[in-house]
Structure 1
Amino acid sequence: MTQTTTAPSVSAVAASPAMPSTLRLGLSQAAAENRTFFRRRDAMIFTFSFPIILLVIFGSIFSSTVEGTGLTVSQLYVAGLIGSATMTGFQNLGIGIALNRDDGTLKRLAGTPLPPAAYFMGKALNTLLVSFVQVVILLAIGVALFDLDLPSAASDWLTFTWVFVLGVLGSSLLGIAVSSLPRSGSSASAVIAMPFVVLQFISGVFIPARELPEWLSQIAAIFPLKWMCQGFRAVFLGEDGATLEPTNSYELGRVALILGAWVIGGLVLCLTTFRWKSRNDG
């Protein structure tokens, strides 16, 4: 008599591996963004060299001492360009994401399991690194060529930290939001770069705040760059620099309030305006 073997009534099903956390995916995305950035050597060299060239040129031409202070105009440029470097994410993310949307990269990412938060975290952390490297280079040049004194008080470096972090976050979120404005990737540079250049001139990067017409100062006060520059002047120019401010004060409390508001406002703008598809995709 032939014996038959009865197959198990329940098949063993292998459990699917759990998805990594959003934080872990965000850090992995940041590592990928950093590798991509540093492999594009032409873009990397331009990103780091442009503020250096501006500082050396402007700092060398305008090297006189500011009347009534022990500061030079060159030192004012160091603080201003540090603010500009901190806002690099506005331009880089605005243009870069617009190009990614136009070439279909965002559309493909939207179809993967990658959480949107991880994608944006990777972009923001890459911007944080790039801006930090730019700031370190500008400080080194300021110390070596323009007699900039680095602060010795821990409170000054604490101020530097929160101005830098809030500035990078706010400008990165704003860059992500404005990436939806250009109608195509090819027009992104013109649409986004021009406002950034204008902001630099009216926010105290190249022209001292007290020398600007009041109406321009009022426009600049709406945007974060003015307050970032003001915060960095507080760190690196000290009490002598406070006399150059329109209110004879750095108003650090107001700086923190407005930069924090831009972080929240930038997040709201991203959530309400960001598009994964280009206009041509409907």
Structure 2
Amino acid sequence: MWAIAKMELKKNIQDKGLWFWTFILPIVFIIAFVSIFSGDENTSYKEVVTQIIPGYTIMFAFYIMISMVIGLVKDRDKGMVARIASTPLPIMSYFIGKWIPFMVIVLIQIAVLFGFGVVVYDLPLGDPLGLIILSLSLAFIVTGWGMALAVLVKTENMGIALTQIIALGGAMLGGLWLPVELMPEFMQTISKVLPQYWAIEGYKEIILEGGDTLDVLFNILIMVLAGVAGGLIAIAAYPRFLRLSKS
């Protein structure tokens, strides 16, 4: 398990495309949209940075699913999955070994983007413990869904397309681009079934309202349950994934 995790982490560190999606592009978006909306007289500067920085952090966290899809589909098509299945390594060890590096990458991404917000825009962080647990929950749901998607799709292109739908559709409907209360009522109802909504509302509760872990406990629970569901789907779909692997 740890050998798989170490190899996966090393491979992803060398992936320049991952660095672009994870750090460079989110920072560009944050700079651009803070510049655009900070001049709005009807919205305070603190509300702007509290909406935009966590919002784009959440949105771009979901793009890790692209790297997860590409990595697992390549392992399948190159016969790596079939070779691993022929060894005594349990299925759970394989999945955990593939999952851990992406969990670490998402947590680093969140830390870097929030750190950028603190240094450049004086973003208040609020309760540290609440922020850390909420960020762990976000990383868990993103990577849990990433594992499920990677096992379910037949091709890399299908996985990339579905990731775009999940990331962009969730950003639009989940209140990452603009506060949910400014959206039409039917969209506000839809938003409450999306993990993006619970993530952004949790961050705003901690950063803007001064809340703590107890105040966002329900948000954390929703994201953890969604992440567990993703992991269970990945495990359930593994036999089909294995059958598609080249021997």
1:255 matched residue in structure 2: 219
| TM-score, structure 2 as length reference | 0.84
1:12 matched residue in structure 2: none
Query: Partner letter of residue 260 of structure 1?
Result: V
In structure 2, relative to structure 1, the CA distance for the partners of 1:27 and 1:78 (3 Å cut) is: same
In structure 2, relative to structure 1, the CA distance for the partners of 1:278 and 1:46 (3 Å cut) is: farther
Query: Partner letter of residue 143 of structure 1?
Result: V
Query: Partner letter of residue 59 of structure 1?
Result: V
2:230 matched residue in structure 1: 266
CA deviation vs aligned residue, 1:42-80 (integer Å, no higher than 9, x gap): 433443212111111112222136747562423311121
Query: Partner letter of residue 261 of structure 1?
Result: L
CA deviation vs aligned residue, 1:229-259 (integer Å, no higher than 9, x gap): 22122222225x9xxxxxxxx9623213312
Indicate if the aligned counterparts of 1:75 and 1:146 stay in contact, CA closer than 8 A: no
- Alpha-carbon distance in 2 for matches of 1:185, 1:279: 14
- Alpha-carbon distance in 2 for matches of 1:168, 1:220: 19
In structure 2, relative to structure 1, the CA distance for the partners of 1:142 and 1:193 (3 Å cut) is: same
Greater fraction helix = 2
Structure 1 unaligned spans of 5+: 1-25, 242-249
Query: Partner letter of residue 98 of structure 2?
Result: K
2:189 matched residue in structure 1: 218
> Offset of 1:199 from its aligned partner?
0.8
- Report matched runs for 1:37-186 at 5 Å: 37-64=12-39, 67=42, 71-151=46-126, 156-186=127-157
- Alpha-carbon distance in 1 for matches of 2:190, 2:75: 31
> Offset of 1:279 from its aligned partner?
4.5
> Offset of 1:89 from its aligned partner?
4.0
Structure 2 unaligned spans of 5+: none
| TM-score, structure 1 as length reference | 0.75
> Offset of 1:85 from its aligned partner?
4.4
* Larger Rg over CA atoms: 1
Query: Partner letter of residue 200 of structure 2?
Result: C
Identity of aligned residues (%): 23
Q: SS at 1:238's partner residue?
A: coil
Bigger RCO (CA 8 Å, 6+ sep): 2
Task: List 4+ stretches of structure 1 deviating above 6 A.
Answer: none
> Offset of 1:280 from its aligned partner?
8.1
- Alpha-carbon distance in 2 for matches of 1:55, 1:175: 24
CA deviation vs aligned residue, 1:71-122 (integer Å, no higher than 9, x gap): 2423311121232344444443234323432343322322233322222222
